[in-house]
C-alpha cells in the first residue's frame, strides 16, 4: 500500500510541475536587425507607397530615406533638400508622387520614377508656418496640410507648375494639427489636434468638430475594412465612427487602456482591422478595430533581452510583411523584423500527450486514495490486485485481525 501511495504522490508532483504557469510573453519575437546609418538620424516617421513596395522615411535636417518594404536592406539614395525638420509625408493615391511637409512652410514633392525631390510650394503659400501633417483625399484631387498653429489648407498643383493653397474655414482655437488621415472608401477625412479635439473634413472641405478635446492626439489610422478611424493619446484610444451621408453625425468613443506599460506615441496599420499602437518605452500593442479591443504584442522586457541598447530607442513606424509579421523603424534609424515565435510542434505535442494521460491518472489516483483511506475493504481488494507480495501478506494479516476484533 505504501508503494501505491508513493506512486500517486509522484504522479501528482510531476503534473504540478508541468502545469506551473509562466509569465506572459510577447505575441511575436524580434529577429533581423539593421541600421540605416551609423549615426542618429532623428527620424520622425515614415509612409508606405500604395503598392506596398517602398517605405519613405523622413526626419531632422531634411533627412529622407527610401527602402524596400519587403527587404529594408535594399535602399535608394535620396537627395537632401535643406536643413529643416520634416514632420509628415503622404503618397498620392496614384503612387507616383508623395508630399513631404516640415518646418518654415516646407512642402517637398518626391517623384518615384527618378527618386527626385523638388519644392512643391513656396513658403509664403503657408505663411512660413511649421507644417505638421499632410494627407491626400480619396481621389487625389486635393491634399490637406496642417500646421503647428492650427491652420489647415487644401493644396493642389497649379497650371503654372506651382501650387494652389487655400486656407479652410471653421478652424479650431490654434491647437497644433497633429494628424490628418483620409479614409480610402468613405469620402471623409479625420483631423487630430493637441487640445481642440477631433474634426471631420467632408467632401466640400468643410470642417466639423466632433469631440475629444481633452486629449492631445498623436496617432491616426483609418482601417480600409471598416467605416472608422482610430486615434491614440497617452493611454487612450478613440474610435471615430464615420457617417458618410452626414459628416457632423460622425461620432467618437474613447477608451482608456490600463497596463500598457508605457505611453502611446502613435498608431500604424498592420492588416485588415488590426493596427499597431506604438509605445514608449519601446513596445507595441495590437488594436483590433472590429471588436474595439487591444492586446499585448511586443513587451519591453523582451526588447531589452533582445538588445538593451535598441530598447532605449523610440519606435516611429511599423509596417506589415504579413498578417502577423512586419518591420519596426526607430528614431535613430534602426530596423528590426518581428514575427510569431516558431512552434516546437514535437515538444507541444509531447506535452499535450503527457497532460492528457497524466491528469486522468492523477484524478483517478486521488479518488482511489481517498476511498481506500475510508474503506478498509476496498483498500484490501486493491492491494490484493496490484500490491507487492509483502503488501499482500500484510493486508491479509490486517484483514484477519479486523475480523477477530469484530467477534
pLDDT by residue (tens digit) across 153-164? 999 998 887 899
What integer pLDDT is reported at residue 128 of this predicted model? 93
Domain count, the chain: 2
Helix 345-374 vs helix 2-19: angle between axes, to the nearest 10 degrees? Answer: 140
Same domain, 186 and 155: yes
C-alpha grid cell for residue 321? 510583411
Indicate if 350 and 330 belong to the same structural domain: no
34 within some domain: no
Answer whether residue 27 is part of any domain.
no
pLDDT at 12: 39
Residue 313, φ and ψ in degrees, nearest 5: -85, 165
- List own/partner pairs for 223-229 with CB under 8 A and 24 or more apart: 223/269, 223/272, 223/273, 223/274, 223/275, 223/289, 224/184, 224/185, 224/272, 225/272, 225/273, 225/290, 226/273, 226/289, 226/290, 227/183, 227/185, 227/186, 228/289, 229/181, 229/183, 229/190
Give the pLDDT of residue 384. 67
Ranges under pLDDT 50 in the chain:
1-24, 345-347, 349-351, 353
CA distance 264 to 192: 14
pLDDT at 159: 80
Based on the fold, state whether residues 85 and 17 are members of the same structural domain.
no
Q: Are residues 279 and 134 in the same domain?
A: yes
Nearest to 120 by CA among 165, 170, 78: 165
Distance CA 49, CA 52 (A): 5
Nearest to 124 by CA among 142, 140, 106, 151: 106
The pLDDT assigned to 81 comes to 86
309 and 184 within one domain: yes
Task: List the one residue out of 361, 304, 318, 310 whose CA is nearest residue 26.
Answer: 304
Instruction: Identify the domain boundary among 339, 366, 387.
Output: 339
C-alpha separations of 236 from 216, 259, 279, 286, 294 in Å: 10, 12, 12, 14, 11
Q: Are strands 315-320 and 293-298 parallel, antiparallel or unpaired?
A: unpaired
User: pLDDT of 186-212, one tens digit each?
Assistant: 999 999 999 999 999 999 999 999 999
Q: Do 232 and 86 share a structural domain?
A: yes
Last residue of a domain, one of 290, 316, 339: 339
Contacts of 91 (CB under 8 A, 6+ apart): 47, 48, 49, 50, 56, 97, 98, 136
CA atoms within 13 A on the CB side of 41: 27
Residues 332 and 350 in one domain: no
pTM over 0.75: yes
Closest by CA position to 28, among listed 232, 306, 271? 306
Q: What's the rounded Cα separation, in Å, for the pair 270 and 286?
A: 9
CB 151 within 8 A of CB 129: yes
Three-class DSSP category at 183: coil
- Let me know: does 110 contact 80? Beta carbons within 8 Å: no
**Locus of grid cell 478652424:** 171
26, part of any domain: no
Q: Of 288, 321, 339, which one is at a domain's C-terminal end?
A: 339
| pLDDT of amino acid 16 | 37
Angle at 207 (CA atoms; ends 201, 211), nearest 5 degrees: 95
Q: Do 150 and 254 reside in the same domain of the chain?
A: yes
Edge to edge, the sheet with strand 251-256 lists 219-221, 228-233, 236-241, 251-256
Q: CA-CA distance, 383 to 364, in Å (whole number)?
A: 16
Strand spans (E) along 79-197: 86-91, 97-102, 106-111, 116-119, 131-136, 143-147, 152-157, 163-167, 177-182, 189-193
The answer to whether residues 175 and 241 belong to one domain is yes
CATH of the domain at 219: 2.130.10.10
Same-domain pairing of 106 and 162: yes
Q: Are residues 386 and 317 in the same domain?
A: no
Please check whether residue 164 lies inside any domain of the structure. yes
Contact of 29 with 339, CB cutoff 8 Å: yes
Residue 106 CA to residue 147 CA, distance in Å, equals: 11
Q: Are residues 279 and 372 in the same domain?
A: no
pLDDT at 20: 32
Answer yes or no: is 323 within a domain: yes
Give CA–CA dist 123/305, Å, rounded.
46
Residue 194 is assigned to a structural domain of this protein: yes
**71 domain residue, yes or no:** yes
Domain presence at residue 270: yes
Q: 154: domain range? A: 41-339
Residue 91 DSSP code: E
CA distance 188 to 204: 10
Amino acid at each position: 500500500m505504501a508503494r501505491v501511495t508513493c506512486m500517486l504522490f509522484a504522479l501528482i508532483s510531476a503534473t504540478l510541475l508541468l502545469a506551473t504557469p509562466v509569465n506572459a510573453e510577447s505575441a511575436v519575437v524580434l529577429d533581423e536587425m539593421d541600421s540605416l546609418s551609423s549615426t542618429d538620424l532623428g527620424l520622425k516617421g515614415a509612409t508606405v507607397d500604395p503598392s506596398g513596395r517602398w517605405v519613405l522615411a523622413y526626419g531632422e535636417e531634411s533627412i529622407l530615406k527610401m527602402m524596400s518594404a519587403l527587404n529594408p536592406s535594399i535602399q535608394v539614395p535620396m537627395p537632401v533638400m535643406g536643413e529643416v525638420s520634416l514632420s509628415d509625408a503622404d503618397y498620392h493615391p496614384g503612387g507616383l508622387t508623395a508630399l513631404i511637409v516640415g518646418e518654415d512652410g516646407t512642402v517637398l514633392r518626391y517623384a518615384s520614377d527618378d527618386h527626385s525631390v523638388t519644392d512643391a510650394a513656396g513658403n509664403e503659400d503657408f505663411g512660413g508656418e511649421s507644417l505638421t501633417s499632410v494627407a491626400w483625399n480619396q481621389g487625389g484631387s486635393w491634399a490637406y496640410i496642417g500646421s503647428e498653429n492650427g491652420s489647415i489648407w487644401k493644396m493642389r498643383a497649379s497650371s503654372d507648375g506651382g501650387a494652389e493653397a487655400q486656407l479652410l474655414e471653421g478652424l479650431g482655437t490654434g491647437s497644433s494639427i497633429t494628424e490628418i488621415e483620409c479614409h480610402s472608401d468613405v469620402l471623409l477625412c479625420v483631423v487630430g489636434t493637441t487640445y481642440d479635439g477631433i474634426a471631420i473634413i467632408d467632401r466640400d472641405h468643410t470642417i466639423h468638430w466632433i469631440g475629444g478635446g481633452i486629449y492631445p492626439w498623436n496617432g491616426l489610422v483609418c482601417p480600409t475594412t471598416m467605416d472608422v478611424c482610430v486615434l491614440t493619446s497617452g493611454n487612450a484610444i478613440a474610435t471615430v465612427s464615420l457617417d458618410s451621408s452626414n459628416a457632423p453625425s460622425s461620432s467618437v468613443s474613447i477608451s482608456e487602456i490600463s497596463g500598457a506599460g508605457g505611453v502611446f506615441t502613435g498608431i500604424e496599420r498592420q492588416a485588415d482591422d488590426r493596427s499597431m499602437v506604438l509605445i514608449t518605452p519601446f513596445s507595441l500593442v495590437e488594436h483590433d478595430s472590429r471588436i474595439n479591443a487591444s492586446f499585448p504584442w511586443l513587451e519591453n522586457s523582451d526588447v531589452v533581452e533582445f538588445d538593451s541598447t535598441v530598447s532605449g530607442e523610440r519606435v516611429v513606424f511599423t509596417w506589415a510583411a504579413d498578417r502577423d509579421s512586419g518591420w519596426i523603424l526607430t528614431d535613430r534609424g534602426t530596423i528590426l523584423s518581428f514575427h510569431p515565435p516558431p512552434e516546437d510542434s514535437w515538444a507541444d505535442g509531447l506535452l499535450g500527450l503527457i497532460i492528457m494521460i497524466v491528469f486522468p491518472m492523477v484524478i483517478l489516483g486521488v479518488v482511489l486514495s481517498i476511498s481506500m483511506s475510508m474503506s478498509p475493504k476496498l483498500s484490501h481488494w486493491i492491494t490484493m490486485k496490484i500490491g507487492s507480495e509483502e503488501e499482500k501478506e500484510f493486508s491479509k494479516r490486517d484483514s484477519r485481525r479486523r475480523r477477530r476484533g469484530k467477534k
